[in-house]
Structure 1
Amino acid sequence: MEYAESRAYQAGDEIRHMDWRVTARTARPHTKQFHEERERPVMLLLPFSQSLFFGTRVRFKSVQTARVAAVLAWKSCALGHRVGALCSRAGQHQECKPTAGERGVLDVLRALARMGRHGFPGEPDHDRLGPDARPGDAAREATDDDAGLLTRTLEQAGRLIRPASEVVLLCDWLQLDDTHQTLLGRLRERADLLLVQVADPIERQPPPAGRYPITDGLHGCILDTEDEAVNEAYKALLETRLERTRGLCARLGIRHVLIMTDDDPLLGLHGAVADARP
């Protein structure tokens, strides 16, 4: 419940709701009136792992994640909710407390912009790593941090999220483990959860037959999709990963939306946003 106004006392009003300041100022007894809180905090969780800085169609997953977050922020604002965000990546962290109106949206957008200000994870930050830093140094640092990035984000969210909040986790879900499942379960007990899984088309379907050099910034190899056995194993791995995510969401009561890097976020989020409580 939240305070609405104060009015002159009427027989039957709760004495514990007396507004003593207005009573003293007007010399007439007044009581406080309350109504149910219509707005709700909406918190966007954005762990920018190194795996998000990848894409083969239209844009990187990290860019699509930011686009989706922007759409959700504006939608929340339009519904009258307060919007905030927890954004993090290797060496960076931004927290925006849920705020009403355009100010809350702009705070989130500024935090997203800061996340991309220092370039890609594979590019060395010479101010921090020193003038002799090499690309592999930055990639190694980012890779090491990825192991706990999602864990730290969920732990912090658990400390900050108010009951009855709306929480949206935007990630590619490649780091899912038992610890994350436990943390998500605890968070779900306090808030409504929506998982927006951002993926590249190559993470759903192998590319055309060929030999493709790939790298994670530290190691390189050749993906040979001319081999039918490799293709089938590739498809099975992708399907197993997606079904694992969907199964987890079903067990915990988490809404799940899959958005590809070449999707229009407005269309991809249409059903999910409509399901949110007003």
Structure 2
Amino acid sequence: MNWDDLRIIAAVRDEGTYAGASARLRIDETTVGRRLARIERALGLRLFEAIDGLRRPTRQCEMVLAHVQAMATHADEIGRIGASLPGPVGRLRIASTNAVAEEVLAPRAAEFLETHPGVTLQLLTSSENVKFSRWEADLAIRLRKPDKGDFAISKLAEVRLYFFEPAAAAEREPVACVYPDELEGIPEMQFLRARRIRARCVTDNVRVIRTLIQSHRAAGVLPEHSCAPLLADRRLRATLLPKRRDVWLLVQNHLKRDAAARVTIEWVRACFQDAARG
């Protein structure tokens, strides 16, 4: 059953005529009659009888109207949910890599959601970019700036990068961890190529690289938000790269003035600022 059609039944019952229901719902009178006829065919019931120039509900119609009234009550209650919550209300889908979601957003998400009880976050994590132009996400955090798109693009952060290698000399060359060829333009890969490091492990998963580095038998580059424990490890030597990694925020255009989106964007920016401070 279409909820708009069911509302027409209640309007005809209350007003007594198609014309009255038409004026109340602000739709054409012929539309009222046509949609009522459609409901009667679907239900196999006669809903109204013409008595003394008015439309009177049949017994079966009264049974239908009891359910319509219950649905209207629930609809009103749903509409009041947002009004009962302090602050902005909305559900935002944020697309990012696993590392950003786990190490930048997640540690700070609980406090944000407690502060904004009307906001719900859905974190979409993948090493592949979501199709932002197809509305698969509301916000997206990208490690490379898109060439173009019908959405708002702004720089979110400049992330420091560290090259880690075993501090002590070893008989064997450490296992070199590099990123896939499709990421050859990123500062991490530019640095590794300049060092003429031979790739031994290829992955776009920073957790895998970090785990290998923690074995003290591997070398690789990690963003600052993924390497706090490594910087304190005296068995590792850390070199700060001269270039930083730009991080970009994509926002669907229709959300520019949305209150829930605005507080979420501010929170995402704060998450990266906190991660940069350590």
Q: TM-score, normalization: structure 1?
A: 0.32
The structure whose Rg is larger is 2
